[in-house]
Amino acid sequence: MKTIPEREKPVKGGIILKQTKLLQSGKVKSVFETDDIGRLIVEFRDDITAFDGGKKDTLKGKGSCNAAVSSFFFQLLEKQGIKTHFIGMLDDTRMEVRRLSMIPLEVIVRNYAAGSLVRNYPFKEGQKLHPPLVVLDYKDDSRHDPMINDEIIAALGIATPRELETIKETALLVNRHLSAFLAGQGITLVDFKLEFGKAGKTIYLGDEISMDSMRLWDKKTKESLDKDVYRFDRGDVMEVYARVLHRISSGGNYP
């Protein structure tokens, strides 16, 4: 009987997806091409970084934890009709995704004031933002991801006004679903960052959705349940991440 090589795994429909060339190695994830031009593999590594890569560590099990949380949220959103790049998990750390041409924007949705919003503007930490804010940063590490606006986005040809409208509407829809789901698990979704990309003319939600890219507070204790634990040395970040994964995955069906 033919055995399947380690880096090849069966996917939906029994088709074998073969991981080929490393396309990109980011701070915490690696992206590989496959023998299917329209599909990529995202590998979640055990790395964690903060402050533009100024602080970094490797934590055993972190990759699989973030992969599991991202996979869970992508599937939750797909069930609500939101188009995401998620196709399936190949193993604990490798996610099969649709190949996108990424739009260099960090789309941040904020329900409560925290982080850079409090550092840069006269908001009080924890102040409710009603309606939620959508803030756009230009994704460019060498420029420290500066905040951008609709006019600059149009002038740079990053997205058309209609694409930008779709991106913002989708981000707010994602916010409604994730906030409602997490509230059911006793967790407040304070803010989070999304990235989008295009396949043809269609816009898909890409990247990841994990505790690295969200700010989560325990509703009762107000304890941080996200990367702030690592950023500000507030405890054992892996213990916190594992706890969030457990709370999320025992959350049952949504809605």
Q: How many residues bind ligand C5P (CB under 6 A)?
A: 14
Here's the x/- map for ligand C5P, 122-161, by CB under 6 A: it reads as -----------------------x----------------
Interface positions, 170-229, toward ligand C5P (CB under 6 A): 191-193, 213-215, 227
* Helix, strand and coil in the chain, % to nearest 5: 30, 35, 35
Asked if residue 116 binds ligand C5P (CB under 6 A), the reply is yes
Q: How far is CA 101 from CA 40, 152, 159, in A?
A: 12, 20, 12
Here's the x/- map for ligand C5P, 71-110, by CB under 6 A: it reads as -----------------------------------x-x--
Here's the x/- map for ligand C5P, 36-75, by CB under 6 A: it reads as ----------------------------------------
Cβ at position 20, least distance to ligand C5P in Å: 28
Of the candidates 81, 90, 85, which has an alpha carbon nearest to the alpha carbon of residue 63? 90
Amino acid at 45: R
Q: Where are the alpha helices (H) located in 114-160, listed in sequence order? A: 116-120, 150-156
Q: How far is CA 231 from CA 6, 40, 47, 99, 102, in A?
A: 35, 30, 14, 31, 27
